[in-house]
């Protein structure tokens, strides 16, 4: 019988595929494979190729090129599937042990109900408080809830993923709470905030009744009512971006946009609108000096008169009185005027998951990954206590201009008198720093 030796035409490519296959095989056999992100196994093969003795540097480089291709994305699907195969079926009623806990063994899933899960790392909350936690930002995102199997009596895909971020010294932001919720009722938010309150108390037992933070949320009545009931000592504030969106949408629905842009634009209406746009940066005790709040900028014969009057009525009934009246003043608020920290996080979450209604296992793996990143951020803060949040140049310049304008106006307020002309000029200047677009 003749011996047979098969030599691949592309030997280097064959070696790359064999090494990748061996790694995937080991991952599938490892019940704890989900404790690490899939990219770590891919990078492990890269390191293995680098350390093997190939006797030829050119061969080693060629094998590495065949394996890496265009980076992790070229093999992401295979490695993600291999990791997911090690995770048992996961739904709102059944979460395996390796996803209920963090890699260090600490409990991650704090509340498990058919219509709600709450995930908190006590270590992250404790470290955040030790690093100057002073503000909390809450926001929800839709279409990231898992879609349960057909026939299941628990349906959460119409709910939301709600996250709460903590803002520490230097403006460093970290996620400290993840919630998967079916409904958005006041009683649901009460459960969320009660769990947050308990986590804060566990982190600092000596401050059980003296916890005082700023809590920034959007203008949703259920959220606001629940926050005020659970945290009566907190300063509950609204998001200035959501405020500008509400005003811009109301302006457009009343038909005022045609008088601000285009052939029908009116200088008086433009000036009036710019004055109103700057109101979030004016202290409430100066509103009596704003002429734009009293009357429309045109006479009754003008086609825009009714729309302007209706917008002023909307301002007075919705924002100057009622439950929102104390939430949207941003005067002398130098940081955290919006919920952008949570909004940006949700954007990253969408990019990583790359699909609507991802499997619950995938969502929980991302939650754990972000918790690990938060742990690293806080550890860096402890090592470099003077380091702050890095801002883009344009964002830093914008913040400096806003702060400088508010400080200048504060000096005017301290003077012997303040005129309507000065207030109007200040408001129109500050209107540049509020959004004018309705999304």
The residue among 84, 106, 140 that closes a domain is: 84
| Pair 215, 235: CB distance under 8 Å | yes
Torsion angle, CA of 97/99/104/107, rounded to 10 degrees? -70
Query: Which residue, 38, 57, 84, sits at the end of a domain?
Result: 84
The reply to whether 129 and 219 lie within a common domain is yes
- Please report where in the chains the tokens 């907190």 appear, as a residue: 234
Q: Which domain holds residue 40?
A: 11-84
Query: Does some domain include residue 4?
Result: no
Which tokens in the block code for residue 111?
């509340």
Q: How far is CA 167 from CA 114, 138, 139, 217, 389, in A?
A: 31, 11, 14, 14, 10
Q: Looking at the structure, do residues 378 and 396 belong to the same domain, yes or no?
A: no
Same domain? 177 vs 269: no
Is residue 364 in some structural domain? yes
Could you tell me if residue 344 is inside a domain?
yes
Examine the domain organization and report whether 67 and 54 are in the same domain.
yes
- Let me know the angle formed at the C-alpha of 62 by 56 and 64, rounded to the nearest 5 degrees: 105
CB 433 within 8 A of CB 398: yes
Low-confidence ranges of the chain (pLDDT < 50): 1
The verdict on 248 and 170 lying in the same domain is no
Question: What pLDDT sits at residue 63?
Answer: 83
Both 145 and 181 in one domain: the answer is yes
54 and 155 share one domain: no
SS3 113: strand
* pLDDT number for residue 153: 57
Q: What is the pLDDT of residue 119?
A: 96
Burial grade of 360 (CB within 10 A; 0-12, 13-18, 19 or more): buried
Instruction: Return the closest-CA partner of residue 255 out of 203, 303, 220, 197.
Output: 303
Sheet containing strand 214-217, strands side by side:
109-113, 116-119, 173-181, 160-167, 135-141, 214-217, 235-238
Burial class of 53 by CB neighbour count within 10 A (0 to 12, 13 to 18, 19+) = exposed
Distance CA 276, CA 315 (A): 10
DSSP assignment, residue 91? B
The per-residue pLDDT for 152 is 57
Instruction: Tell me whether residue 92 is in a domain.
Output: no
Given a contact cutoff of 8 angstroms between Cβ atoms, the answer to whether 118 and 181 are in contact is no
Among 346, 367, 383, which residue terminates a domain? 383
Phi, psi of 91 (to 5 degrees): -145, -175
- Are both 285 and 316 inside the same structural domain? yes
Q: What pLDDT is attached to residue 113?
A: 92
Does 439 map to a domain? no
Q: Is 317 found in the same domain as 291?
A: yes
Distances in whole angstroms, Cα of residue 37 to Cα of each of 62, 152, 178, 424: 26, 29, 19, 55
Query: What is the reported pLDDT for 352?
Result: 73
Comparing CA positions, the residue from 336, 125, 322 lying closest to residue 216 is 336
In a domain, 1, yes or no: no
Same domain (yes/no): 129, 172: yes
Exposure string over 153-170, b if 16+ CB within 10 A, otherwise e? eeebeebbbbbbbbbbbb
What is 133-182 written as a DSSP string? --EEEEEEESS-S--PPTT-S---TTSEEEEEEEE-GGG-EEEEEEEEES
Number of domains making up the chain:
3
- Does this model's pTM top 0.75? My answer is yes
C-alpha span between 436 and 137 (Å, rounded): 23
Of 309, 320, 318, the closest CA to residue 269 belongs to 309
Residues 351 and 327 in one domain: no
pLDDT, tens digit, for every residue of 301-328? 999 999 999 999 999 999 999 889 999 9
Q: Which two tokens stand for residue 314?
A: 């909307």
Are both 396 and 379 inside the same structural domain? Answer: no
In whole angstroms, give the CA distance from residue 330 to residue 280: 5
């Amino acid at each position: 019988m003749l011996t047979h030796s098969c030599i691949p035409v592309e030997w280097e490519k064959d070696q790359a595929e064999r090494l990748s296959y061996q790694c995937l095989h080991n991952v599938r056999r490892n019940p704890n494979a989900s404790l690490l992100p899939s990219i770590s196994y891919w990078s492990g093969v890269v390191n293995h190729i680098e350390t093997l003795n190939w006797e030829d540097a050119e061969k080693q480089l060629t094998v590495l090129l065949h394996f890496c291709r265009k980076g992790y994305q070229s093999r992401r699907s295979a490695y993600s599937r291999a990791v997911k195969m090690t995770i048992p079926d996961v739904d709102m009623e059944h979460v395996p042990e390796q996803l209920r806990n963090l890699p260090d063994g600490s409990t991650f899933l704090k509340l498990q109900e058919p219509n709600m899960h709450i995930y908190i790392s006590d270590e992250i909350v404790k470290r955040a408080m030790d690093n100057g936690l002073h503000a909390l930002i809450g926001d929800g995102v839709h279409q990231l809830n898992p879609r349960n199997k057909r026939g299941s009596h628990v349906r959460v895909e119409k709910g939301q993923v709600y996250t709460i971020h903590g803002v520490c010294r230097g403006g460093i932001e970290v996620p400290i709470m993840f919630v998967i919720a079916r409904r958005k009722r006041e009683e649901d938010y009460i459960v969320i905030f009660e769990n947050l309150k308990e986590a804060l108390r566990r982190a600092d037992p000596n401050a059980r009744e003296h916890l005082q933070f700023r809590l920034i949320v959007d203008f949703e009545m259920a959220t606001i009512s629940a926050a005020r009931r659970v945290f009566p000592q907190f300063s509950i504030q609204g998001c200035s971006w959501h405020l500008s969106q509400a005003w811009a949408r109301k302006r457009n629905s009343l038909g005022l946009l045609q008088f601000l842009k285009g052939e029908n634009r009116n200088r008086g209406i433009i000036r009036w609108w710019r004055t109103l746009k700057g109101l979030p940066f004016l202290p409430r005790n100066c509103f009596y000096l704003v002429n734009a709040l009293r009357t429309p900028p045109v006479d009754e014969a003008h086609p825009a008169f009714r729309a302007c009057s209706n917008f002023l009525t909307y301002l007075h009934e919705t924002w100057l009185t009622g439950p929102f009246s104390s939430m949207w003043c941003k005067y002398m608020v130098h940081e955290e005027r919006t919920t952008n920290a949570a909004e940006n996080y949700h954007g990253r979450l969408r990019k990583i998951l790359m699909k609507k209604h991802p499997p619950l296992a995938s969502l929980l793996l991302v939650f754990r990954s972000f918790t690990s990143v938060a742990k690293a951020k806080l550890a860096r803060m402890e090592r470099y206590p003077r380091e702050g949040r890095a801002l883009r140049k344009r964002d830093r310049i914008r913040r400096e201009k806003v702060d400088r304008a508010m400080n200048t106006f504060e000096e005017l307020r301290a003077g012997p008198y303040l005129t309507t002309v000065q207030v109007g000029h200040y408001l129109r200047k500050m209107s540049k720093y509020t959004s004018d677009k309705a999304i």
